[in-house]
């Protein structure tokens, strides 16, 4: 099976490397010549456009910043649709608006091109070690055919439903993560302002119902004042924008998500958009005049 990979950024680069390590023939496309050279050294081919890739492969994986970029690569000038056939499959692993996933898929389907939306969770460390969580939408029989390919990049690959469902699941994940980080920051700031050591509060509650992956990942970062990005505020703003758009498209209010979006906008306005989303604690620091950093 010959695989095309478009988008070799922070996430896409290690994901594509894992595909190549698994023995798949790989053709890549990105704007960075240094990255192209790196993949050629690994035995991959390079292409100058998405259309060139589509003319040579069975399946194309895209890992791009947002909906407009996915739309352009799939449907724009020099895009996949120009040369792909009814035997081509597009697996979009970007995190985009599920409404856009459905629209792009509908246009590709006019040429008989199948599409899966398979966004990921886990950040750069899990992309590097190939243990991402992948949530997939599209036709189940197509998902089953490419399950092994997806597993080269992931520890978990779960089918969720029709096209768009993968991105619905990803946005649900991002809504929960944002609200959980906000709750951790608020609770630990409350502890400090009340005169109790927030680190001891963290140790006391982590084994109970308040314990969570988010608590264990982000509380130590907040207490250390470590905001080195595992997942940047700017990217979470992008995801929450898509979540709000998708929710409003079905006339659903999402007040908790909206509140966290406003918190993150405050952080961005203070020049902290490139920081990890644990930086949410600095919103509370500014609001209360209290820091939990040891």
Catalytic residues: 170
Angle at 120 between CA 180 and CA 273, to 5 degrees: 55
Structure-derived torsion over alpha carbons of residues 148, 152, 156, 159, reported in degrees to the nearest 10: -40
Nearest residue to 169 via CA among 106, 109, 96, 256: 96
**Would you call 86 exposed, middle or buried from its count of C-beta atoms within 10 A (0-12, 13-18, 19+)?**
exposed
What DSSP state is assigned to residue 252? -
CA atoms 119, 124, 128, 131: torsion sign: negative
CA atoms 24, 96, 168, 273: torsion sign: positive
Pairing of strands 132-137, 154-161: parallel
């Amino acid at each position: 099976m010959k695989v095309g990979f478009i988008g070799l950024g922070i996430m896409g680069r290690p994901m594509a490397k894992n595909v190549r390590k698994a023995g798949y023939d790989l053709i890549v496309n990105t704007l960075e010549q240094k990255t192209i050279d790196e993949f050629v050294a690994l035995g991959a081919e390079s292409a100058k456009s998405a259309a060139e890739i589509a003319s040579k492969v069975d399946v194309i994986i895209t890992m791009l910043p947002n909906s407009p970029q996915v739309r352009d690569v799939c449907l724009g000038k020099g895009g996949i649709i120009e040369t792909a056939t009814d035997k081509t499959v597009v697996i979009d692993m970007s995190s985009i608006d599920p409404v856009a996933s459905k629209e792009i898929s509908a246009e590709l389907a006019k040429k008989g091109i199948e599409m899966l939306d398979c966004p990921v969770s886990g950040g750069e460390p899990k992309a590097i070690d190939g243990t991402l969580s992948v949530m997939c939408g599209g036709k189940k029989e197509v998902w089953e055919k490419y399950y092994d390919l997806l597993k080269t990049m992931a520890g978990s690959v779960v089918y969720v439903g029709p096209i768009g469902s993968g991105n619905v699941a990803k946005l649900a994940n991002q809504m929960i993560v944002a609200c959980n980080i906000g709750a951790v920051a608020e609770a630990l700031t409350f502890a400090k302002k009340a005169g109790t050591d927030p680190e001891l509060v963290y140790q006391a509650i982590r084994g109970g119902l308040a314990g969570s992956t988010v608590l264990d990942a982000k509380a130590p970062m907040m207490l250390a004042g470590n905001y080195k990005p595992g997942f940047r505020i700017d990217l979470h703003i992008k995801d929450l924008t898509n979540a709000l758009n998708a929710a409003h498209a079905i006339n659903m209010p999402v007040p908790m998500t909206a509140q966290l979006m406003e918190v993150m906008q405050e952080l961005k306005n203070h020049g902290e958009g490139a920081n990890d989303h644990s930086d949410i604690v600095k919103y509370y620091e500014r609001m209360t005049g209290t820091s939990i950093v040891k």
